[in-house]
Structure 1
């Protein structure tokens, strides 16, 4: 029986030794009094980097040089070999370790079994969690002070959505309890104005597809204040479960939207008034031009005819009188030319007689004669049935552009084109002058402002830019053909 007991004891010791050596946690046995290491397992050798022989020449205090273990009293050793410590590896690196110890019998002597665990990853995780808690507190503070709502919105793979997080400011925006949205985001959509729901959801799905910033303005039906405008901005992040999570910010922009709408309405009223004033000006110009042509023109014609009769009657008489009559006839002739020119400038009658294409061609020819600047004209608007005022706006814009070339461009040639390109009416005036970058072109002049207004009257836009290839300036008016053809006032 004794022999069997000894065999069983031997096998048990070998089993315990195998468990000791193969344990994944670093373990060692040390002398309770001298703190010298008596045995060490494979995990300790691997983690600390010391060989087994080096370990067996060391004391526990060699692993933790900051503590020498002196002055220990009853229970002190247990404290020394338990809890959190900083140990040093063979390569000099320090790491955090958690120790547990237990008194054991080792080869007939009382010793201490020490088990260690590298808690460096745990410490790092704790630091990360602490930082996250700190950031969470900061976020709460920010959320409590900003005039809006910080939120998280999740779009699930099945198409449903929820709001995992909404700060308290959302209560002020919706005047409802927000915990109902944490699982069912559809409850939030019930507050969105019906006409905005589809656009809002399309923008969300578009952001999810492209992983791009989400930005949208939409209306909600506030239980107390009625229709309110919200503006949302959020950044999407793809999640492992196939959902998309946005973190963003909602703000009430009702006042800003209403101010913008009032400003746009004011601008529209100003544009309408300007258009009305332009109509009045054109009508007044037309009336004055007609009176100049019909009344003053006829009067000058009568004067010229009478002068011709007088000249006939005094033919062969006093040479001085004849000379004076010739001078008067020349003055009247020049006055008639001036009347025709002023009448034409006040109201382009050539539009009535030649049409828009012909009138612009005529204006280019007159510009070349007056200014001595070569003017190439390419017009092909197709002689469409444009409203008379559309013709006037396009013709006047061309006139003003040519006037600017003469005044500011220092050009030697200019090209004018009027055509229909891809369902747009396009008027282009391009010169080879000094360009707008020199600072000599009056980009904000009344003339250019007037051209922009004329473009706006027919639903178009005006752009002014330098043309690097020819060292000049290009003025371009573009208006949708369909809108131009529908022009009524």
Structure 2
């Protein structure tokens, strides 16, 4: 059944080519498919606005009206007892093929079975929708021929059995001859071909006719009316065979490529000039050819060959393997593999390899080249070799630095993993310490309670350090994901102040808040709270008894919001401000009795940067500090 549908599809396409009437071909196709399948079939043609243009097939017209518009339907669907298969081409809905739904028949297999028919129907519908425009300017074939003539090319058709050559008048006109009188055979045309090119031209045809080449393609010289020899390039294909398997009809195109040949000659002259210029280039210019049989050669190398590779230019042109023998043995296989890969993918070739010169020096060579298809399936590279020994020394230093950075990342990953591992036993220690403090069945003596309290406080301090370290390593490793949401700043500030108020009261520090009603932004609420809590905790911790911490939010410059924490504490010097956000650096407080790890501000700085903001610090030693967090308001 598949073969029968394919034959009907091919017949419809040939009918279109013969009649140039897509609608007729479609009506014939839908009726013949219905007979082939033994079931009614219908076809609906749509206009650009999605409305019905015409219908065809063996179904009643009333059935060929979908209840659901087809403009957005791509897959087959069932409606009112019919299977609808939308037809699209070039992103445009053109219509639909429909058939009655049969019990137990799935849409997928039915659509797959009809795929050749559906594809042909969509193409013919597109042709039918645009056919009126084409017909106003001539037939489709005429338009193609006119376009080709404008590009200096014409279409020919050869009846091989009778040697009749169609459209030969265009070929004569291309060479400047008047229209032929009666002479319109291939033999007539062959008389214009240069005697030295006739045999090769016929050989190209025979290779195609015998199946050795997919198409006939050849370039030859033909005498023009002015006596000059013009270069003609032909390309064609046999499209019909008789019952005995002999070629019957052939079509092709013919182009005058004389100007292109002249351009190639000019390119050869340019190559001659290039040779003279290349003698003064520090590196080596080359052309390398890789034939289909795997044989490589250097058609051209510049005179710097011996100085760079230790091989005379003439020796390398005569024997490409002379270069391979100079390449370090460990790099030879890599060299050959890279050439094959570039030829296979037609991708630019680049490689660094070592060469042993005649003076025993081992030098690094960097090569780069661009491939292009050459004659008879070969690949040709045009490229450049240069001595990269010094440059690679610098590159090695950069790689060493990258290795150090990788080691730092490994350290970060190690710290992150260790932080996770430490938290589990530490939480157990804290949990047991808290249970011992509140155990009423076996109450602790006062000294014991004080010691257990020290254990708990030290554990909580250590846990806070581990949490900060975990946050810092997560940020450095890029594992922190923000979840932005609308955040009102005043409620957030009040929430954070409530969380640090007990510590502030213990240290006799006043907390002040200047409200900014309705001011908000789009940010990660959890991370923004963490930033504010860190700043508030530091402002309290490094303040003086009877001091103050003031928090305020305000609109700053265009597009930015300000969140400021000011304290009346010990303050910072300019040198300390410059080192403030370095992890584990507690500055002058490292020798104080105030607990801290030097991680909190580093985490705060990293989180603000992650949210697209920045921190500004102003401080006066002995008078206090001001930390301003600037965040985008969108």
- Per the normalisation by structure 2, the TM-score is 0.30
Whose relative contact order is higher, 1 or 2, with alpha carbons under 8 Å and at least 6 apart?
1
- Per the normalisation by structure 1, the TM-score is 0.38
- The structure with the larger Rg is 1
